[in-house]
Amino acid sequence: MSYVLLYRTEAEEALDRLEADPAMSKALDAIDDCLDRLEDEPFDRRLGTLAFQTEEFSNVSATPVRYDEWYVIWRRGPRPRTIEIITVAQLDV
């Protein structure tokens, strides 16, 4: 049974910007692959997810896309078997 991905507005906007830029097609493909892996099992240790806390979001995770320092930033969703995609971003971790 897979997880349902819920997207915050910030995540949708970030993905829309990437889709609009032909130069970002490789990054977008890698992000899509990462989202598929998160949908299958977001807590799989092999994903290399980093956990941290912010003032705005208490428990947050950053899963590496494995392309050019891109990460999917997410947290547990409001219902069982859901995760909320906060945004996608390039990070220098």
At 3, give phi and psi (nearest 5°). Answer: -90, 150
Instruction: Give yes or no for a contact between 72 and 88, defined as CB atoms under 8 angstroms apart.
Output: yes
Given the structure tokens 């997410």, which residue do they identify? 74
Name the pTM for this structure.
Answer: 0.92
CATH number of the domain residue 35 falls in: 3.30.2310.20
Express each pLDDT in 32-43 by its tens digit: 999 999 999 999
Provide the domain limits for residue 17.
4-90
Give the neighbor-by-neighbor strand order of the sheet with 60-64. 4-7, 82-90, 70-76, 60-64, 50-52
- For residues 11 and 16, give the distance between their C-alpha atoms in angstroms, rounded to a whole number: 9
Indicate the number of domains in the chain: 1
| pLDDT tens-digit readout, 44-90 | 999 999 998 888 777 899 999 999 999 999 999 999 999 999 999 99
CB within 8 Å of 1: residues ≥ 6 apart: 81
Question: What pLDDT was estimated at residue 93?
Answer: 63
